[in-house]
């Protein structure tokens, strides 16, 4: 019986050889492609358990990784809860890194970014665990707090930038959420929070300052129309056609002024007067005079229709294409299909505050490696020259009179010159409107530019105008930021 046993031994060695070959195939030949499969949770777990860099505000973490005893080894915590949620975003074991810097600078925080390659090599050689880099944000806590407090429980957004650099000083979007709920290690709790946040009609996960479904800008867009006019040969004192009611070209629809008031003498008004009282008829007429191309070009010069990353992606604001004359008239006052982010509106103000130069907005001041070496330092960049310095100066003067004598008096700060523009942007057909205010201060040496939008509390006209609701919020923010 020995011969068959020996043959069986050969069979057995073939069987074991097959196992050796197969395991080599899995763990060596195919290993890389298996590791890179999207459903490979181990790769995700590795990312999660790594020492992820913190997000810092004035040196204090607003997002950090803390060691835990469970299998995920580290948990991401947000000490300030919902306060900076739209800036930090969330880092969830289940839903990934998204919603803010966590998503936009994931590779840097995780320590896998290309710019960290050299350090990774050193880590690998020395056997130390790779560590992520930390981010210091540009936010000014005083401005951020003033904005959040002033906005209160109203749905809306406040964003403030430094006009000279483009640094974002405040970014408040309400309602917000607590990212700790998504970063938790309890799967059912995380899923429950996710379900709740994603089905909430108020969309708390959306950062309204740079994204979401965008807002009609209303009268704040008159700044763009006025800028286009000044750039195209109109003088501030130029008389504009400003009837009580303006019949939209090619239609019988009559566009009234707000509350049916007249601008100027009821027939004409200067450009300056029209800005001051936010004259609808004058700007509707002016848009027709300037033409869609000129308006769109001016809007683009301010940053409309451009992809920006601050480093979160900013939804481009847009000026509609293929419009007829009636629609063109409506775009002149920021109605029809003009759609903006509050950040874009703040950029318009900031450009006027900065001699017509638009600075590229940014949220990250410094990137530091785990050993505190500075890897990257923000370097302010000009985005475009939206208008000439003269135009900017002329518009600033008009905006100052808006706050001193016109529709934006609620934004006035004693002892300081504030420039601003109100807006009350209708949407839908029932008359509901979002309240806007944008401006900067101090007007002679601008330190901060702001945009505020407060969403309509109901689906009907509430009587709340930008001057009533948004201007006081802007005032609080400007006051906090002007003395930085």
Partner 1 sequence: MSTVTSVRPPTGRTTELVLLLFAVGIVVLAYINVDVAVTGEVPPDLLVHGLGLLGVALAFHLVLRWRASYADPLLLPIATLLNGLGLVMIHRIDLGEGRDLTSGVAGRQLLWTALAVAIAAAALILVRDHRLLRRYTFLAMATGLVLLLLPMLPIIGQEQFGSRLWIAIGPFSMQPGELAKIALAIFFAGYLVSTRDALSLVGKRVLFLQLPRGRDLGPILAAWLISLLILVGQRDLGSSLLFFGLFVAMLYIATERVSWIVIGLTLFLGGALLAWQLFSHVQVRVNLWLDPFSPDASSDQVARGLMGMAHGGMAGTGLGQGYPFETYLANSDYIIASFGEELGLVGVFSIILLYALLVERGLRTAIGAREGFGKLLAAGLSFAIALQCFVVIGGITRVIPLTGLTTPFMSAGGSSLLANWVILALLLRISDHARRPAPDGTERPRRRATATTTAPATATGGDR
Interface region with partner 1, contact rule CB under 8 A, candidates 25-33, 78-86, 251-259, 278-286: 25-33
Give the nearer residue to partner 1 in terms of CB position, either 36 or 371: 36
The reply to whether 22 sits near partner 1 by the rule CB under 8 A is: yes
Shortest separation between residue 10's beta carbon and partner 1, angstroms: 10
The reply to whether 3 sits near partner 1 by the rule CB under 8 A is: yes
Shortest separation between residue 23's beta carbon and partner 1, angstroms: 5
The reply to whether 39 sits near partner 1 by the rule CB under 8 A is: yes
Give the nearer residue to partner 1 in terms of CB position, either 44 or 142: 44
Interface region with partner 1, contact rule CB under 8 A, candidates 23-31, 132-140, 182-190, 288-296: 23-31
Separation between Cα atoms, residue 259 and residue 256, nearest integer Å: 8
Separation between Cα atoms, residue 339 and residue 353, nearest integer Å: 22
Helix 280-290 crosses helix 292-302 at what angle (to 10 degrees)?
100
The reply to whether 34 sits near partner 1 by the rule CB under 8 A is: yes
Interface region with partner 1, contact rule CB under 8 A, candidates 41-49, 89-97, 264-272, 360-368: 41-49
The reply to whether 28 sits near partner 1 by the rule CB under 8 A is: yes
Residues 288-307 that bind partner 1 (CB under 8 A): none
Does 349 participate in catalysis according to the annotation? no
The reply to whether 42 sits near partner 1 by the rule CB under 8 A is: yes
Is 323 within 8 Å of 299 (Cβ atoms)?
no
The reply to whether 187 sits near partner 1 by the rule CB under 8 A is: no
Shortest separation between residue 4's beta carbon and partner 1, angstroms: 4
Q: Per-residue contact track with partner 1, 308 to 347, x per CB under 8 A?
A: ----------------------------------------
Shortest separation between residue 462's beta carbon and partner 1, angstroms: 50
The reply to whether 13 sits near partner 1 by the rule CB under 8 A is: yes
Shortest separation between residue 133's beta carbon and partner 1, angstroms: 23
Give the nearer residue to partner 1 in terms of CB position, either 73 or 447: 73
Shortest separation between residue 65's beta carbon and partner 1, angstroms: 18
* Dihedral (Cα; 224, 228, 229, 231), 10-degree rounding: 130
The reply to whether 25 sits near partner 1 by the rule CB under 8 A is: yes
Residues 44-83 that bind partner 1 (CB under 8 A): 45, 70-71
The reply to whether 40 sits near partner 1 by the rule CB under 8 A is: yes
Could you say which of 65, 173, 219, 278 is catalytic? 219
Interface region with partner 1, contact rule CB under 8 A, candidates 1-9, 142-150, 154-162, 312-320: 1-9
How buried is 26 (Cβ within 10 angstroms: 0-12 exposed, 13-18 middle, 19+ buried)? exposed
Interface region with partner 1, contact rule CB under 8 A, candidates 26-34, 103-111, 242-250, 445-453: 26-34
Shortest separation between residue 126's beta carbon and partner 1, angstroms: 16
SS (H, E, C) the chain: CHHHHHHHHHHHHHHHHHHHHHHHHHHHHCHHHHHCCCCCHHHHHHHHHCECCCEEECCEEEEEEEECCCCCCEEEECCCHHHHHHHHCEEECCCEEECCHHHHCHHHHHCCCHHHHHHHHHHHHHCCCCECCEEEECCCHHHHHHHHHHHCCCCEEEEEECCCCCEEEEEEEECCCCHHHHHCCCHHHHHHHHHHHHHCCCCCCCCCCCCCCCECCHHHHHHHHHHHHHHCCCCCCCEEECCCEEECCCCCCEEECHHHCCCCCCCEEEHHHHHHHCCHHHHHHHHHHHCHHHHHHHHHHHCCCCCEECCCEECCCECCCCCCHHHHHHHCCCCCCCEECHHHHHHHHHHHHCCCEEECCECEEEEECCCCCEEEECCCCEEEECCCHHHHHHHHHHHHHHHHCCCCHHHCECCECCEEEEEEEECCCCECEEEEEEEEECCCCCCEEEEEEECCCCCECCCCCHHHHHHHHHHHHHHHHHCC
Shortest separation between residue 324's beta carbon and partner 1, angstroms: 48
Interface region with partner 1, contact rule CB under 8 A, candidates 12-20, 50-58, 136-144, 416-424: 12-20
Contact residue for partner 1 among 27, 60, 189, 198 (CB under 8 A): 27
Give the nearer residue to partner 1 in terms of CB position, either 3 or 429: 3
Residues at the site binding partner 1, with contacts judged by CB under 8 A: 1-6, 8-9, 12-13, 15-16, 18-20, 22-28, 30-32, 34-35, 37, 39-43, 45, 70-71
List the catalytic residues: 219
């Amino acid at each position: 019986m020995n011969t068959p046993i020996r043959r069986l031994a050969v069979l057995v060695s073939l069987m074991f050889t097959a196992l050796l070959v197969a395991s080599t195939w899995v763990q060596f030949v195919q290993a890389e492609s298996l590791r890179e499969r999207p459903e490979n949770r181990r790769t995700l777990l590795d990312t999660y358990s790594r020492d992820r860099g913190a997000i810092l505000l004035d040196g204090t973490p607003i997002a950090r990784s803390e060691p835990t005893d469970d299998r995920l080894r580290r948990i991401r915590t947000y000490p300030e809860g919902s306060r900076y949620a739209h800036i930090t975003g969330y880092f969830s074991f289940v839903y990934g890194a998204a919603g803010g810097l966590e998503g936009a600078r994931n590779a840097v925080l995780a320590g896998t970014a290309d710019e960290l390659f050299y350090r990774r090599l050193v880590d690998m050689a020395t056997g130390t665990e790779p560590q992520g880099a930390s981010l210091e944000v540009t936010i000014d806590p005083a401005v951020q707090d003033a904005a959040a407090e002033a906005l209160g429980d109203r749905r809306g957004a406040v964003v403030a930038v430094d006009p000279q650099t483009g640094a974002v000083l405040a970014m408040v979007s309400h309602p917000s959420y607590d990212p700790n709920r998504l970063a938790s290690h309890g799967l059912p709790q995380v899923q429950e929070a996710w379900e709740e946040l994603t089905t909430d009609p108020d969309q708390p996960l959306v950062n309204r300052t740079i994204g979401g479904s965008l807002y009609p800008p209303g009268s704040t867009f008159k700044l763009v129309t006025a800028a286009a006019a000044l750039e195209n040969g109109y003088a501030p004192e130029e008389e504009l056609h400003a009837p009580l009611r303006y019949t939209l070209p090619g239609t019988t629809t009559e566009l009234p002024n707000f509350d049916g008031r007249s601008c100027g003498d009821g027939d004409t008004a200067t450009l300056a007067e029209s800005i001051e009282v936010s004259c609808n008829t004058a700007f509707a007429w002016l848009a027709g005079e300037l033409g869609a191309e000129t308006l769109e070009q001016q809007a683009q010069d301010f940053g409309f229709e451009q992809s920006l990353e601050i480093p979160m992606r900013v939804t481009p604001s847009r000026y509609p294409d293929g419009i007829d004359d009636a629609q063109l008239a409506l775009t002149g006052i920021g109605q029809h299909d003009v759609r903006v982010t509050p950040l874009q509106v703040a950029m318009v103000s900031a450009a006027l505050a900065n001699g017509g130069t638009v600075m590229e907005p940014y949220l990250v001041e410094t990137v530091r490696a785990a050993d505190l070496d500075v890897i990257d330092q923000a370097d302010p960049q000009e985005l475009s020259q939206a208008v000439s310095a003269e135009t900017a100066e002329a518009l600033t003067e008009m905006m100052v009179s808006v706050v001193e004598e016109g529709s934006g008096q609620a934004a006035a700060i004693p002892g300081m010159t504030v420039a601003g523009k109100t807006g009350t942007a209708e949407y839908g057909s029932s008359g509901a409107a979002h309240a806007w205010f944008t401006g900067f201060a101090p007007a002679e040496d601008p330190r901060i530019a702001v945009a505020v939008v407060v969403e309509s509390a109901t689906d009907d006209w509430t009587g709340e105008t930008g001057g009533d609701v948004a201007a006081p919020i802007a005032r609080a923010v400007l006051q906090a930021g002007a003395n930085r």
